[in-house]
Structure 1
Amino acid sequence: MKIALFGYGKMGQMLEKIGLSRGHQIVAKIDAGTSEIAYSDFDVAIDFSTPDAAFKNITDCFKHGVPVISGTTGWLSKIDEAKTICKENKSAFIYASNFSLGVNIFFELNKNLAQMMANLEQYKVSLEEIHHTEKLDAPSGTAITLAEGIIENSLYSGWKLEEEVENHIAITSKRIGKVPGTHTINYESSVDAIEIKHTAHNREGFALGAIIAAEWIQSKEGIFSMKDVLNLT
């Protein structure tokens, strides 16, 4: 498989390493300032670029019939428009806030637990995420996805960062050292607590999941998710 990397920072470099180890070719490394892009040279694009570049990167690929795997955050106000362009051009698209296989299983575990806890009003849910000090946005996209999974399956109506508001999930964000990513969901009552937690040991899991998604999307048309890739539907 011939892969184009849109964004060649730390994640792009890890994607290159994992992709090569699985027998694929990295035929383009596209960053700010790249002027000429030969879309016909690659089978799939993986976008881990920047919020201001992502929408154009992704939709230009769709217009050239190239499927896209994207993990870029901060541009999602335009994702519905991107999906429309994908469908119009009969291309394929997977967006995920986190491509780690373990995290995507954790997303489903989180939803199932939320359903079981929905009518147990004595338990109050909270969410904590910890990342390295270079991560500037808070909360993480993964934390937001987890919060949305609880909201969709419970009576909670929203989430708040570093603030306790009635009927909202309190999210705490910490930036510590070189922590790749730790997410904890806690249900607390006066008599006990239930906790589920995912801890990333390094960045490789994120890159591996994106490469596996790129392998899976070949010859497909439409909008998909990691649930489809992992057959969790």
Structure 2
Amino acid sequence: MKYTLVGNGRMGQQVQAVVESSREHEIHAVLDVDAAITPESFRGADVIIDFTVRDAFLANLPAMLASGVPVVVGTTGWDGKIDEVKAMVARNGASLMYSANFSLGVNIFLRTVREAARMIDAFDQFDIALSEQHHTAKADYPSGTALRAAQMVLDASTRKKSVLPDLPEDRKIRPDELQVASIRLGSVFGQHAAHINSEFDDIVISHTARSRQGFAGGAVEAGRWLAGQHAANPGFYTMDDFLDEVLS
């Protein structure tokens, strides 16, 4: 399978290394984030993988969708545009998979957090908060993965109604607010945790990435799956769709 990469930063380079170490896949092209990208830029590719930044991704998206090549997106920070992106995918008859984190370990963590939030919702004595740590070069906060975990908690909880990324200076946190704390530290690849507390005990569910290889490998596998879906069922997909099929 031939992959065209958009973005040659740390994640793009890691994806390239994973593809080049595989006997099944090959790198078709690597496009710089500042390149003039058109639909023709993707001719001959089977899958596009985008790890860039928010503004570059949104600027290049029309060309990627018009190319007819399935698109895997690991770029974060554009969740506020997700409905608009879904509409663009549908208009183009395209296929796009988005995940803030393609690591299989992280996605197992997310499903575990969702189940824990569902269970503690039946017991008023439990409270829950989330935290995340990343390297100081990461521009957005909370991380896309933390926001995904937060949405899962909100969906599973009848008590938590909104996300609180910064503690207010003039009041206490409300019981219906879900705190998501962010730390930017050194070269941390990524740490995410759910903290559950009651008067009698504490539960911590956590995931720590030891390298970017897990993210890159998951993106490559997701690309292969998306290419298979594209012919019969084009559309907007997430890692949940991928895992649901694998685990069914």
Q: TM-score, normalised by structure 2?
A: 0.88
Q: CA deviation at 1:58?
A: 2.6
Q: CA deviation at 1:232?
A: 4.7
Counterpart amino acid of residue 50 in structure 2:
D
> In the aligned structure 1, how far is the partner of 2:89 from the partner of 2:192?
32
* Counterpart pick for 1:226 among 220, 223, 239: 239
Q: Is residue 123 of structure 2 the alignment partner of residue 120 of structure 1?
A: yes
Q: Is residue 104 of structure 2 the alignment partner of residue 91 of structure 1?
A: no
CA contact (8 A) 2:8 2:33 kept: no
- Describe the SS at the equivalent of 1:46: strand
- Describe the SS at the equivalent of 1:122: coil
**Per-residue Cα deviation, 1:22-69 (whole angstroms, up to 9, x for no partner):** 232212211233225532221111011111111232332221211100
Q: Is residue 10 of structure 2 the alignment partner of residue 10 of structure 1?
A: yes
For residue 160 of structure 1, what is the aligned residue in structure 2? 164
For residue 213 of structure 1, what is the aligned residue in structure 2? 222
> In the aligned structure 2, how far is the partner of 1:109 from the partner of 1:64?
37
**Per-residue Cα deviation, 1:5-37 (whole angstroms, up to 9, x for no partner):** 111100000010001112322122112332255
Q: Is residue 115 of structure 2 the alignment partner of residue 102 of structure 1?
A: no
Counterpart amino acid of residue 223 in structure 2:
A
> In the aligned structure 2, how far is the partner of 1:115 from the partner of 1:129?
21
> In the aligned structure 2, how far is the partner of 1:109 from the partner of 1:12?
28
Structure 2 segments unaligned to the other structure (5+ residues): 168-172
Structure 1 segments unaligned to the other structure (5+ residues): none
CA contact (8 A) 2:103 2:217 kept: yes
> In the aligned structure 2, how far is the partner of 1:33 from the partner of 1:148?
33
CA contact (8 A) 1:5 1:12 kept: yes
For residue 209 of structure 2, what is the aligned residue in structure 1? 200
> In the aligned structure 2, how far is the partner of 1:177 from the partner of 1:186?
23
Q: Is residue 195 of structure 2 the alignment partner of residue 186 of structure 1?
A: yes
Count, aligned residues: 233
Q: CA deviation at 1:212?
A: 0.5
Q: Is residue 51 of structure 2 the alignment partner of residue 48 of structure 1?
A: yes
> In the aligned structure 2, how far is the partner of 1:196 from the partner of 1:120?
18
Counterpart amino acid of residue 15 in structure 1:
V
**Per-residue Cα deviation, 1:109-149 (whole angstroms, up to 9, x for no partner):** 11111110112111111111111222232211111111110
Say if 1:232 and 1:157 are closer, same or farther in 2 by CA, change over 3 A. Answer: farther
> In the aligned structure 2, how far is the partner of 1:219 from the partner of 1:130?
34
> In the aligned structure 2, how far is the partner of 1:13 from the partner of 1:32?
13
Q: CA deviation at 1:77?
A: 2.5
For residue 36 of structure 2, what is the aligned residue in structure 1? 35
Q: Is residue 188 of structure 2 the alignment partner of residue 169 of structure 1?
A: no
For residue 130 of structure 1, what is the aligned residue in structure 2? 133
> In the aligned structure 2, how far is the partner of 1:108 from the partner of 1:29?
33
